[in-house]
Amino acid sequence: MAMPGAEIVARIKACIPDAEVTLTDLAGDDNHWAAHVVSASFAGKTRVAQHKLVYAAIGDDMGGALHALQLTTAVPT
């Protein structure tokens, strides 16, 4: 079962309330997504730590309901 984009955004915002999330469905199947997440909470964190925060928001569904997530993160400018 695929994960709709709205659910991905909701989960990220639930864990990172100030997140600005831009999603792109890479294959048109709700299963392969690219996400660009911008949050002030990423300030001072390594890129790996930023990504871990986002993946934690998806939880155990990463690799299951959500097959692939190409992720970029940034701090607001």
Q: Tokens standing for 73?
A: 């993160």
Q: How far is CA 15 from the centre of its chain?
A: 10
pTM for the full predicted model = 0.92
Express the helix, strand and coil content of the chain in percent, nearest 5 each.
40, 30, 35
Arithmetic mean of pLDDT, 44-73: 93
Q: Tokens standing for 45?
A: 């964190």
* d(C-alpha 72, C-alpha 51), whole Å: 8
Of the pLDDT bands very low, low, confident and very high (cuts 50, 70, 90), residue 30 is confident
Predicted local confidence at residue 66, as pLDDT: 86
Predicted local confidence at residue 65, as pLDDT: 82
Looking at the domain 5-74, which fold is it?
Answer: GMP Synthetase; Chain A, domain 3 (3.30.300)
Name the average pLDDT for the chain.
Answer: 94
Predicted local confidence at residue 50, as pLDDT: 98
Q: Where are the domains of the chain?
A: 5-74
* d(C-alpha 69, C-alpha 72), whole Å: 10
Predicted local confidence at residue 29, as pLDDT: 86
